[in-house]
Amino acid sequence: MRKKNRISEIDSSPFPHVVVDDFLDEDTLELVIDALAGLEYSFSESDLFSYWASVKLTDIDHPALNVLREDLGDEKWREEVSRAFKVSKLSKIDMAAYVYGLGDFLLPHDDQVENRIIAYSLHLTPDLEEEDGGSLDLFEDNKGRSKLVKRIIPKFNSLNMFEVSATSWHQVSEILTDIQRLTLTGWYHV
What span, in angstroms and rounded, lies between the C-alpha atoms of 40 and 163? 30
pLDDT averaged over every residue in the chain: 93
Other C-beta atoms closer than 10 Å to the C-beta of 14 total 21
d(CA 94, CA 115) in angstroms, rounded, equals 12
Q: Pick from 64, 177, 57: which is nearest to 120 by CA? A: 57
Please give the DSSP secondary-structure letter assigned to residue 20.
E
Angstrom distance (rounded) from CA 186 to CA 183: 10
Segment 150-186, tens digit of pLDDT: 999 999 999 999 999 999 999 999 999 999 999 999 9
Segment (H or E) for 140? strand 136-142
**Percent of the chain's residues with pLDDT above 90:** 85
Collapsing DSSP states into helix, strand and coil, what is residue 34? helix
Closest CA to 134 of 105, 99, 170: 105
- Spell out the domains of the chain, with CATH numbers in brackets: 17-189 (2.60.120.620)
Return the percentage of the chain with pLDDT > 70, whole number: 98
pLDDT digits (tens, 9 = 90+) for 70-110: 989 999 999 999 999 999 889 889 999 999 999 999 999 99
